[in-house]
Amino acid sequence: MTKFRSGVVMAAAATLAFSLTACSSSDDTTEGSGGDSSAAAAGDNTLTVWAWDPAFNIYAMEEAEKVYQEEHPDFTLDIQEVTWEDLQPRLTTLAQSQEFDELPDIFLMQNNAFQKNAINYPDLFTDITDSPIALDEFPEGVVAYSTVDGANYGVPFDSGTAVSALRTDILEEAGYTVDDFTDISWDEYIEKGKDVLAKTGKPMLSGIAGEPDTILMMLQSAGQSLFDDEGNPTITDNAALSSAIDLYSQMVESGIYLEVNSWDEYIGSLVNGNVAGTINGIWISGSLQTAEDQAGNWAMTNLPMIEGVDGATHYSANGGSSWAISSNANVELAEDFLASTFAGSTELYDTILPSAGAVANWLPAGDSDVYAEPQEFYGGQPVYADVISFGAEVPANNTGAYYYEARDAVGVAITQIMGGTDAASALGEAQSTVEFAMN
């Protein structure tokens, strides 16, 4: 699964050694962890795929292959395990060397890295804007990640839709229900959070100190970014960002937001019952459900809204990924495969949801009986259908080609601000850092 866990991608535990001479489906000797050396012999009926995480992304591709084979029995995939840490530099190397024949037909791309790659290395991608893939059946905000100058280059896969997950037993102890935290403002959230803390001793949230994930989710919920539509940094004079940082500071200072030092401590604060909830991408559900003793005591709702900011909503995202068709692909076959599976198969999403927790971005998936099933861990709430509906409301924003540089700079600024530095000075320094990187 694509997870932006405090900026660190949690890659598969087992990484296959893989050279840059790996071939695409047009070669004669393609080999990879997900296929076999005879796969390329199938010629036009074979697609090569680069992806990471055998239990999630690769598993989903394997199930997609089975779905497509129902109508195309001679079709095969050669799925090659390539971790994100290896995939990104590999793409950069191939782009700079112009060795496009080394590309696979399809590769997975982190949503927040998509624009950087599509803008800097356009020759790696195929424009699928006019393809048979129904991109209008995905949330606009998710499609925007892989859209550059009106052209689209990606098919959204796993959902990074943000949720507010809450411990219903802790809320009940303080005299609240999940409804009391639904469709509310951040100001209301903070006031109720103070009450929960006073009555139960539990903070509402936790997160890694200096990591801007919570603030960036707030920012996207208002349809805002760290960049304007032209890709220029907007870290200074950004009303939504200033409001988000102020709200974050209030939560930390009041004690309702517990800052921790690492990802493991963050997960520990959730599964050990140290906090009353979390706000993160839906992929956090996999970690929550490892606390089997908490089954039935969790629920999900939408996010608080930033008051006083135009375009503010209760919906956001954190993470997610999309499939890209390379410039070296059998484009017609790749487009038809993706249109028939990740952009067209309820059967596929019904299979991978219970087995891998892969929540769809494809909106029609939410109409299936599988998505509507009550989830025991969440007190019988049909959370996956709810998440699909949340995803449809996530505002689009421009991540820009320098998203990670801006993210890191804002993270430093937050640490400085929490340490007493004037916010305008810290954000001004962050803006200068990004501008320097861009130049």
pTM: 0.84
User: Residue 280's beta-bridge partner residues?
Assistant: 163
What gap in Å lies between CA 204 and CA 247, rounded to an integer? Answer: 14
Q: Categorise residue 229: left if φ over 0, alpha if ψ from -120 to 50, beta otherwise.
A: alpha
Q: Are 125 and 155 in contact (CB under 8 A)?
A: no
10-residue mean pLDDT profile of the chain (439 residues): values are 38 32 33 34 80 94 98 98 95 96 97 93 97 96 94 95 98 98 98 98 97 96 93 94 97 98 96 97 92 97 96 95 97 98 98 90 95 96 96 92 94 95 96 94
Fold match between domain 4-160+319-367 and domain 162-316+397-438:
yes
Strands 162-167 vs 277-281: parallel, antiparallel or unpaired: antiparallel
Q: Is 1.10.10.410 the CATH classification of the domain at 162-316+397-438?
A: no
CA distance linking residue 399 with residue 209, whole number of Å: 22
Tokens of 89: 């530099």
CATH architecture of the domain formed by 4-160+319-367: 3-Layer(aba) Sandwich (3.40)
Distance between CA 410 and CA 322 in Å, rounded? 25
Q: Report domain extents, the chain.
A: 4-160+319-367, 162-316+397-438
* β-sheet bridge partners, residue 326: 125
Would you state the pLDDT for residue 400? Answer: 85
The span from the CA of 97 to the CA of 241, in Å, is 39
The rounded distance, in Å, linking the Cα atoms of 125 and 265 is 39
Token reading at 343: 């952009």
What is residue 24's predicted lDDT score, i.e. its pLDDT? 33
Separation CA 272–CA 193 (nearest Å): 19
Q: Are 383 and 353 in contact (CB under 8 A)?
A: no
The tokens describing 439, both together, are 């130049």
pLDDT of 378 reads 97
Q: What is the pLDDT of residue 43?
A: 54
